[in-house]
Amino acid sequence: MTEWWRGATIYQIYPRSFQDSTGDGVGDLPGITRRLEHVASLGVDAIWLSPFFTSPQDDMGYDVSDYCDVDPLFGTLADFDGMVERAHELGLKVIIDQVLSHTSDQHPWFAESRSSADNPKADWYIWADPKPDGSPPNNWQSVFGGAAWEYDPRRRKYYFHNFLTSQPDLNFHNPQVQDALLDAMRFWLDRGVDGFRLDTVNYYTHDPSLADNPPASPEKFAAAGGTYGMQDHIHSKNQDANLRFVERMRALTDEYDDRMMVGEIGDDGDTAIALMSDYTRGDKRLHMAYSFEMLGPHFTARHFRHNIEGFQEGAPDGWPCWSFSNHDVVRHPTRWAHSAASPDAIARQAIAMLSAFEGSIGIYQGEELGQTETKMEYHELTDPPGLRFWPENKGRDGCRTPMVWEGGDPHGGFTKGKPWLPVKAPQLAHAVDGQEAANDSVLHHYRAVLAYRQGSAALRAGRTAFVDLPEPLLAFHRRAEGQALTCVFNLSTDTHRVSVDGAAALVGPVGATLADGVLELGPNGWAYLDGGADAEVALQAA
C-alpha cells in the first residue's frame, strides 16, 4: 500500500461544466478526457468527478436512478473506461462521487418500494405512518427547505427525504440495502477507480424511533437561513450506527490495492470537526474527511487555526482534506472579497495557504484561474434551492458555470452550442489561453505553488505547530524528514511586519520580502521560511 492519498492534491471536475464534446451545451466524459492534459499540467495527484450516473437530473446528478451506468447526457461506460485509462496514463488517480444516502424517486428500487407494503423492497426506504391528524411523523426538516417527509397515497405513508422530495432516503438499517450499495461500489472498483468521494457521509442512518429533533442553540437558531438550521439534527443524522457501515465500506476498499475514501461531513462548527475526527480515527473508517468549515465566509487566523487544531486533537492518527471552493459554495475569491486586495491577490494567497495546511487538499475546476462567482439572473437558474428561495438564496449555479478555455470564444471554448449555464464576460476574462500566455498569471502561480508543495516533505507530510501572532497574521511550523518550514500569512489588505530571529530564507513562490530580520507582508502576502538545518524560525510581531 502506497497511501498515495496522504498529502495529495485532488482536482474536482464538475462534468456538466468542464468540456462539451457534442454541442448539446452540457459537458461530458469525452470532453473531460480531452482536457485531462490541462489538469495533469497543474501537478495534481487525482481528479474527483461529481456524479455522471443515470439520473433525472433534478439535483444535477445527485439523484441517482442507476448506480452502475453512465447517464447518456455524459456518454457511455466505454467513454468512462477511456477517461480512466487516459487519466492513469497521465499519472492521475480517479475518484468518483458516491451518493449513497438517497436515490432518485425514479430508481427501480423506490418504484418497487412504494408499490405495496409487502414487496421485497418495501423496507428499503424510510416509511412511517402519519400522525392521527395526517401530519408528518415528526418535526424533521429538509436541507432544501420544509418538512423532510412526503406523503405517498399508494403506501398511505410518508417517506423521508433529507433533500428534495424526489430524493427519498434509503433505510440503512436494512442489511440488504447496505449489501446492494456495496455491490455498486464494487462495480466501479472493478472498473479501475482509485477511490470514492462519499456525499453526505454522516446522513446514512437515522434514529428508528423517529424522535423529534430539538431546537438549535439560540445562536444557531438566530443565524439560520432556513428551517433546517433551526434544529439540532441529533436524530435524523450523525448516528453511531453510521460508523458501522463506514467500516463495511473500508473493508471493501481494503480488498483492493491503493484505494481510498474521502467523506463529506454535512454539519457545521465544532460538530463538523468532531465528526471529521470520528470518521477518520484509526484504520477501519474513512481514509480522509472534509467539512464546510473552510468553505464559508470566515477568513481569520483564529478560524483556520481552530479548525486544524480541533482536528489534530480529535484524531491524532486521522487525516483531513481541506478545500476552499467546490460545487456547493460561492467561489472563494468572491466569498472572501472583504479581505482581498483583489480577486487575483486572494487567489494567489489562498493556494499558498491551502498548500501549507496539514492533510490533503482539494481544488475546484476554475480555481486555478482565479475564477470568480458568476452573477446569475433568476431566469438563468437551474438549482432547486435558488429557484425556490430567490433572492435570499441564489442557489449554487454561480459557482457551476462552465470552464473558460478560450477568451475569444463567446462560450469560452466550452461548447459550440448553447451552454446549460451562461458564460459571462467577467468569467471569460480568466480564460486558460490568456493565462497560459502571461507568465505572471494565477494559473502559472498555481503550478508553481503545487510544484513546490509536491517537492516539500514538510508541506506534504509534516506535523503542524502554530505560532502565536495577533490577527490578521496566521503562522505555523511544518516539520518532516529533516525539513522545517515556517509559514506566515497576512489575512488582510494592510501591510504587516514580523520580526524574524536567526537565519532564515524565503523559499518557494515568494509573496513577501525579508530584509534585516524583518519580514514584510503586503496585502494578502505570504511567506515560506526555511531556517536551515531543520531549525524552526522564531517570529514576533513587529
Residue 492 C-alpha cell reads as: 488582510
- In this structure, the number of other CB atoms found within 10 A of the CB of residue 379 comes to 5
> What percent of the chain is predicted at pLDDT more than 90?
93
pLDDT average, residue stretch 44-68 = 98
pLDDT tens string 215-224: 999 888 877 8
Q: How confident is the model at residue 533 (pLDDT cuts 50, 70, 90)?
A: low
pLDDT average, residue stretch 180-201 = 98
pLDDT at 48 over 70: yes
pLDDT at 335 over 90: yes
pLDDT at 5 over 80: yes
pLDDT at 351 over 90: yes
pLDDT average, residue stretch 186-207 = 98
Helix (H, G, I), strand (E, B) or coil at 447: helix
Q: What is the pLDDT of residue 225?
A: 80
Cross-strand bridge partners of residue 479: 463, 484
pLDDT tens string 458-483: 999 999 999 999 999 999 999 988 88
Q: What is the pLDDT of residue 1?
A: 64
Find out whether 185 and 66 touch, Cβ atoms under 8 Å: no
- Strands in 212-323 per DSSP E: 260-264, 288-290, 321-323
Q: What is the pLDDT of residue 481?
A: 80
Q: What are phi and psi of 249, to 5 degrees?
A: -65, -40
Distances 445 to 95, 341, 438 between C-alpha atoms, Å: 25, 17, 11
Listed in order, the ranges of the chain carrying CATH 3.20.20.80 are 9-102+175-376+434-453
Q: How confident is the model at residue 160 (pLDDT cuts 50, 70, 90)?
A: very high
Q: Which of 473, 447, 442, 453 is nearest to 346 (CA)?
A: 442
Which CATH number describes the domain made up of 9-102+175-376+434-453? 3.20.20.80
Q: How confident is the model at residue 534 (pLDDT cuts 50, 70, 90)?
A: low
pLDDT at 502 over 90: no
CA distance 284 to 271: 21
CA distance 82 to 29: 9
CA distance 355 to 449: 7
pLDDT at 236 over 90: yes
CA distance 313 to 467: 17
CA pseudo-torsion sign 426, 429, 435, 441: negative
> What percent of the chain is predicted at pLDDT more than 70?
99
CA distance 44 to 361: 10
Q: Which of 182, 197, 177 is nearest to 248 (CA)?
A: 182
pLDDT tens string 392-430: 999 999 999 999 999 999 999 999 999 999 999 999 999
Q: What is the pLDDT of residue 269?
A: 85
Give me the catalytic one of 190, 240, 255, 317. Answer: 255
CA distance 50 to 38: 18
CA pseudo-torsion sign 301, 302, 303, 307: positive
Q: Which of 35, 24, 13 is nearest to 75 (CA)?
A: 24
Listed in order, the ranges of the chain carrying CATH 2.60.40.1180 are 463-541
Q: Which of 285, 180, 179 is nearest to 240 (CA)?
A: 285
pLDDT tens string 102-147: 999 999 999 999 999 999 999 999 999 999 999 999 999 999 999 9
CA distance 443 to 192: 30
Asked if 255 is an active-site residue, the reply is yes
Q: What is the pLDDT of residue 503?
A: 85
Give me the catalytic one of 28, 71, 199, 264. Answer: 199
* Helix, strand, coil percentages in the chain from 3-state DSSP, rounded to 5: 30, 20, 50
Q: What is the pLDDT of residue 49?
A: 98
pLDDT tens string 277-296: 999 999 999 999 999 999 99
pLDDT average, residue stretch 318-330 = 97
Q: What is the pLDDT of residue 221?
A: 82
pLDDT average, residue stretch 66-75 = 98
Q: Which of 94, 76, 97, 96 is nearest to 40 (CA)?
A: 94
CA distance 383 to 406: 26
Which CATH number describes the domain made up of 463-541? 2.60.40.1180
pLDDT at 504 over 70: yes
CA distance 500 to 174: 60
CA distance 535 to 532: 6
Asked if 380 is an active-site residue, the reply is no
